[in-house]
A and B are shown apart, each in its own frame.
Chain A
Amino acid sequence: MNQSEFLNMVMPFKDKVFRFSKRLLVSTEEAEDATQELFLKLWKNREKISSYKNVEAFAMTMTKNYCFDRLKSKQASNLSLVHSNYKENGTSLDKKTNLNDSVSIVHQLIAKLPEQQRMIIQLRDVEQYEYEEIGKMLDIKQTAVRVALSRARKTIREKLIKQHNYGIN
């Protein structure tokens, strides 16, 4: 496999990898580094890749594992990943979310969810993968995906209604 063949294969899901790692790592820069690192890993393993049926799902699993490793090493070095630790260097989305309050509230609500639920919300509601695919990516059962997803959606809804009614931040 040469470079251009490889790039043609991985380009369709590079944004998904980036968004997924951003959901986990929070900071845009960290997510960019993770994306770059991940594609380098895929490139190095390109011989193996061709034997996988679903390269995209494989890439998402790798992304998850890589981000978890990053998070662990952050914790080990006493650097907690709090949202305020990072200056977002204004991507279009960040600017928009600042403008649009209710949308940025959703962003914060998702950020507060447990990791597993956050990942599933991202993979389902943003990237629109099938339950089966998500199950494979995260190495859990389909029913577990549904349970976590339902919990996450209900949590977000409850908090949104609360904020809607009382305007509490």
Chain B
Amino acid sequence: MGSIKIEQLIEKYLDAETTLKEEAVLQDYFVNSKVAPHLEEYRALFGYFAESKNERYTKTIQLKTQKKNWKWLSVAASVVLLFSVYTGYNNIQPSEPEFSDAEIAEAQIAFEELKGAFQILSKNLDKGTAAIGYLGEYETTTNKIFKQPVK
């Protein structure tokens, strides 16, 4: 392409009246062909534009969806918790009236026996504490015999 045509295009280019096609022609001329000396400064310009286009975003784009998963996990956990509480409650409720009279009577007897056993145990404990009472007496008599350290 003749440099006169290029000069005309350059004029249009500077006035921002070129189309994208015309700009592509300019770019091609300045990057790929021998440039007339008086148009030398445009070579750097179009060379720069051509080169800039090659810069890439090399990292991978991360779309963090893990956050969301955690949220759903907590929802699921609370559902499980509620469900288990509900079923657990239902299991306990109907179990009470299921005992037969014989069983209740048996339990009553066992309870009485246990009560007797505990009474015996507490009586024996009382004996023990009564015996400890003597120790108090021992303490007061030793205090009389030995001199108390003066503070």
Verify B17–A106 contact, CB threshold 8 A: no
> Of B17, B20, B53, B64, which is in contact with the most chain A CB atoms at under 10 Å from its CB?
B53
Verify B51–A93 contact, CB threshold 8 A: yes
Verify A106–B61 contact, CB threshold 8 A: no
| Contact residues in A for B16 (Cβ distance below 8 Å) | 131, 145-147, 149-150, 153
Interface residues on B, range: 20 to 34
Question: 1/0 per residue A66-108: CB within 8 Å of B?
Answer: 0000000000000000000000000111001100101101110
Question: 1/0 per residue B31-53: CB within 8 Å of A?
Answer: 00000000011111101110111
How many Å from the CB of B10 to the closest CB on chain A?
A: 9
Verify A157–B57 contact, CB threshold 8 A: no
How many Å from the CB of B11 to the closest CB on chain A?
A: 11
Verify B45–A156 contact, CB threshold 8 A: yes
Verify A91–B51 contact, CB threshold 8 A: no
The contact of A103 among B23, B48, B57, by CB within 8 Å, is B48
A112 on interface, CB distance cutoff 8 Å: no
Q: How many A-B residue pairs have CB under 8 A?
A: 93
Nearest CB to that of A149 among chain B residues? Answer: B16
B29 on interface, CB distance cutoff 8 Å: no
B147 on interface, CB distance cutoff 8 Å: no
Verify B61–A7 contact, CB threshold 8 A: yes
How many Å from the CB of B16 to the closest CB on chain A?
A: 4
| Contact residues in A for B13 (Cβ distance below 8 Å) | 153
> Of B20, B43, B52, which is in contact with the most chain A CB atoms at under 10 Å from its CB?
B52
| Contact residues in A for B64 (Cβ distance below 8 Å) | 40
Known contacts A14-B61, A40-B63, A97-B48; 20 additional CB pairs below 8 A are A15-B55, A17-B57, A18-B56, A19-B52, A36-B59, A96-B51, A107-B48, A125-B49, A126-B49, A126-B53, A128-B20, A130-B20, A146-B17, A149-B16, A150-B14, A153-B14, A157-B42, A157-B45, A160-B41, A161-B41
